[in-house]
Structures are given as C-alpha cells and as structure tokens.
Structure 1
Amino acid sequence: MNREIIDINDCTILLEEVSTNNTVTDSCFFDEPVVAIAFYGAGNVGLKVKYNEKEKEYQHTKGMVLSFYADEQVEFEHYVSAKKPLQCLVIATTIKNLDKFPNGEGFFLEQFLYKLVHPKDHYVEGPVLNMNPEMFLLVEQFFSNTYEGELKMMFHKSHMSALLSHYFGQLAKQQTPNIDRLQLEKLNLAQEILLTDIENPPSLTELANRIGTNTTKLKKGFKAQFGVPVFKYLQNERLKKAYNLIKYEQKTIQEAAWAVGYDSLGSFSNAFEKKFGYRPSQV
C-alpha cells in the first residue's frame, strides 16, 4: 500500500494506491468531520460505506467521483484484488475551513454541495459523477508525479485547482434536465460493455442494440453523461490501459498496442502522444 497525505491551506489531499495478488480489505476513517471529494482512477475496487448500522455499496468505482460529508463514525472499506487495484485521490477539508482553499473553491462547494456543508447525518452523500477525460488525466498525473520539495507543492496546488474546476464544471452541466434513471442504466451498461471488449468493441449500432436503444439516443446520452463521444471515450480508455501496461507491467510498446486493439504501431504512438503529450517510449 502507498498512502501519501499533502496539506495545502488547511485542505488535505490523500493519495492512496493498493495492489495485491490476493483479496484484501483496506479500511479507513477520518479523525474529524470532513467535506470531501474522492476521485477513483485505475482499478475498479468495491467500496462499502458503513455508518449508523447503515451501508452503501458501490461495485463499479473506476472513473467515479464521490462527494460526501463524513464524521468520525463513518468507515470506508475498499475491497482490493489482483484484477481490481485501488487508486483513489481524496480532496478533503473541514466545514470551518472552506474559505481556506487557495482559489476560492469553497464558494463552489457551498453552491453545488450545499447539503454536505450543512449535514444532517453522520454521512451525507453528494452527486456521484463519472470523470471526464481531463479529470482522468489529472488524477493519473497526481500518481505519476516525481517532483520534490517546493516544486511538488506547486504541482499539487495547481493540479488540485484544475481538478476541482473540471469537477464543478461537471456539476454545473448537471443543472440542466437530468437523464432519466432507465436511460442512465443503459448508458452505464454501454460503458461497461466498452470496457469489457476494449480490444474488439462493438460497432455503434451493435452497442445501441445491446443496451436496448437507438444510435441517436446512445450518442447524445453518452456524451451528456461521460463528457465525450462513445469512441473518443473508448480511445481514451485504450490509451490509459496501454500506459499502465507499459509503466506497471513492463510490456513492450508493441505488446501494449496489440493488447488494446491497435494494429498500427504508428497510429498507436501518434494517438498516445496526442493524449499524454509524450511518446510511449518516454513512459
């Protein structure tokens, strides 16, 4: 397990990574009441929130953004296995320190997450979102950052503000009429199908048929929910998987490209550089 805590102006950034060949439970508490936003990156751990003899459970956490208020009586349990590592970034502060965020983010917390700032229970859940590609990239950069000292602190301050700005931007978009529950379930199923068949995904028509909708509704709803068109989302996921294969599993560039469905090494390298800003050989 790797756990790092960074304090910025009475705000805390918690970076936690756990990978294992076995199945383990990673449990954590906060030692004082906090308002927090958790960003789940690579991996797809199970999460259970326990409080007051109540439980909330999440089975598909990859790409999830969970905002919440929690006091000392709330327990967060992550279920980590070989195929489901934990990569979680949490930005937290106390209610009294909302105005201590470096760029006035407390104002937006009050505006968009009012019930978290004025809690009525030990645990209060805010909106549950899916990260857009920009947020995913920022979260990845937190975990791959190699700066030290003052440069590291500068990096964390700037990236925290950038990540929160994208998050509040997503919340602002949600003030438009919501997608109905049935449509949302279909879109989440479409996402799951794409991630399962990432090397050989279905066509847009096949995907629409499998979730019981038409291509027009699929394209419109998917972009509204996930921030990008269907196959842009798929490309981003392919490239993120390739990045992890190269960096963490020591796969060659050719092996990583084939593993995520690229036949052309040139096309793969160009797409990789466009997304991450550097060639796969530089990972």
Structure 2
Amino acid sequence: MLVETATADRPTVDSCRFEEPLIAVALYGSGNVELKVRYAGREKVYEHTRGLALAFYADQEVEFVHTVRPDTPLECIVIATAARNLDRLPDYEGELFGELLQQLLDPRDHFVEGPTRFMGPAMQTSVEQVFHTQLAGRPRILFYRSQTTGLLAQFFGLLAAEPTGSIPQRERSQLEEARRILIEHLDAPPSLSELSRRIGLNTYKLKKEFKELFGVPVFKYLQNERLTTAHDLLRRGEMSVQEAAWEVGYDSLSSFSKAFARKFGYRPSEIRR
C-alpha cells in the first residue's frame, strides 16, 4: 500500500512512475485532485477523482500526474502488486485479482484501465480513516496492512455484486455527470427532476441506476458529500462550524450538527481540538 497526500498554496504538479509493471487499485479521498495518465504520446484525464476507485495495469513508461491546488489536495491510496506475486498473495486475494481484473493480467498496452467505480459511503469512510489515523510507528503499519485487506474486499465486493448486463457505458457517463453536478452544487443542488433533465436520463432510471452505481440513493449521496466536505473545511481550519454548514447548504446549525455527529461520531465543534 502506498499512501500519497499533498497540499499546495498554488497549483502544483505531482508526478510519479512505477519501477516495474504493476496491477493496482487507486482509491481517491476527498481531495478531488485532477489526474492525468500519460503514456506512448497519449493522455487520459480524470477530472473528478473524489471517491474514485480505479483498477489499472501500468508499466515503467506510464507517468501519473496530479495537479494539486489549494482547494483540491491530493489524497490517494494505491494498492499494487506485480503479476508474478499473485499466487503468493494471502486470503484468496490473488484469485480475486484473476477473476475480477482479468483484463489486466494480459495487458496489450503500457496502460490498461480496468474496472472504475465510485465508492459508497462505507468504503469512503474506510479510505478517510487511512488518511486521518493518529497511529504512528509499528501500530500504523499494522493498521495499514489491515486496511489494505479491507479495502480490497470492499472493492472486489463492488465488482462481484454487479448484476449481469450492468449499466451501459453511456448511462454510466450520465450518472457520473449527475454526481459531478451534485458535488459542484452542494449548497443549492438541483431537484431530482431538474437533475434528470440536465443529464438526459429519466427520473426512474436516475434513481434506480444511481443507487446501483454509487451504492446509495441520490440524496443520501448528496448528504454524505455535504458532510464530508464540511469535515474537510473544519479539519483544515478554513471556516467556523456555522460557515461550514452554510457552505454545504445547511441553513440550520442544529440539523447540521446532528447529521454530522451521526456520520462521524462526534460534533463538528470537536474536530478542531
């Protein structure tokens, strides 16, 4: 497991490569940093990485470029292995890599994108725990090891739970656009009918397939994003509790505090201690 974090006062480019060909799953936290994957004169761009779980194969020729800005810090966990190590992985991990990430085992290019999904609230919480743990030294290493297994289990669970004939790619793109709209308008989100109109998908499909793709209904996802964003604002000391509540669309401080405590287990005023 590789845990990457970075913040910047002005736009900054963070670039990395792997030393050998790897099969990996990259999990992005709340930073929502931009990712560009460059290889063989080509470039693939991921503009909205918040909550993204990206499986891929990459060799030494691939460059991963993150653009870090003050409002979009880098928070990325990479769980990786060389294909030659799959048979030695514990707890059936190698078998799951082979079954669910089969297209990555016989790559036809320097970079091959495998299944890409957005994490549900439970998996996002597990990712956030990695970035915010207070453990140090050997206990921290043990914690990372346990989280590696847990996060892989949740990611493979997402893939295995998908029904045969899952959401078509065009509709998946429309749902990802709906997610982007919600994230960009936390303080004043569109209604369900307006969101449906903007992405070109009827309301029934929007509700049904959004839950199928992201694991929760539309407005449960919205609430989770609001509270996660408020948590980040408070953790970075950028706003007061009242200001953070307003920023993410809560008019009532009492309602915000209750929802925050239900999600995180402590009041928003306690996060800055």
Q: Same fold (TM over 0.5)?
A: yes
Aligned to 1:33: 21
Task: Measure how far apart 1:249 and its partner are.
Answer: 2.7
- In structure 1, how many angstroms separate the alpha carbons of the residues matched to 2:88 and 2:68? 34
1:200 aligns with 2:188: yes
1:21 aligns with 2:16: no
Q: Deviations over 1:223-266 (max 9, x none)?
A: 11111000000000000001001111342222212221122222
- In structure 2, how many angstroms separate the alpha carbons of the residues matched to 1:199 and 1:110? 43
Question: How do residues 1-283 of structure 1 correspond to structure 2 at under 5 angstroms?
Answer: 13-283=1-271
- Aligned pair count? 271
Q: Deviations over 1:131-186 (max 9, x none)?
A: 11112111111110110233212211222222111100111133521212332222
Residues 177 and 281 of structure 1, relative CA distance in 2, 3 Å threshold:
same
Q: Tell me, yes or no, if the aligned pair for 2:48 and 2:180 is still in contact at 8 Å.
A: no
List gaps (5 residues or longer) in structure 1. Answer: 1-12
- The residue matched to 1:193 in structure 2 has which SS? helix
Point out the more displaced range, 22-31 or 91-100.
91-100
Task: Measure how far apart 1:84 and its partner are.
Answer: 2.6
- In structure 2, how many angstroms separate the alpha carbons of the residues matched to 1:55 and 1:150? 39
- In structure 2, how many angstroms separate the alpha carbons of the residues matched to 1:204 and 1:148? 45
Structure 1: 4+ residue segments shifted above 4 A: none
Residues 59 and 101 of structure 1, relative CA distance in 2, 3 Å threshold:
same
- The residue matched to 2:48 in structure 1 has which SS? coil
- In structure 1, how many angstroms separate the alpha carbons of the residues matched to 2:239 and 2:87? 45
Letter in 1 for 2:8: T
- The residue matched to 1:44 in structure 2 has which SS? coil
- The residue matched to 1:205 in structure 2 has which SS? helix
Question: Under a length normalisation based on structure 1, what TM-score does the superposition of the two structures give?
Answer: 0.89
Q: Deviations over 1:97-117 (max 9, x none)?
A: 224444332221111001212
- The residue matched to 1:36 in structure 2 has which SS? strand
- The residue matched to 1:179 in structure 2 has which SS? coil
- The residue matched to 2:54 in structure 1 has which SS? strand
- In structure 2, how many angstroms separate the alpha carbons of the residues matched to 1:43 and 1:90? 15
- In structure 1, how many angstroms separate the alpha carbons of the residues matched to 2:193 and 2:58? 43
- In structure 2, how many angstroms separate the alpha carbons of the residues matched to 1:250 and 1:52? 41
- In structure 2, how many angstroms separate the alpha carbons of the residues matched to 1:101 and 1:274? 37
Letter in 1 for 2:230: A
- The residue matched to 2:37 in structure 1 has which SS? strand
- The residue matched to 2:61 in structure 1 has which SS? coil
- The residue matched to 2:134 in structure 1 has which SS? coil
- In structure 2, how many angstroms separate the alpha carbons of the residues matched to 1:181 and 1:20? 35
Identity over aligned pairs, percent: 50
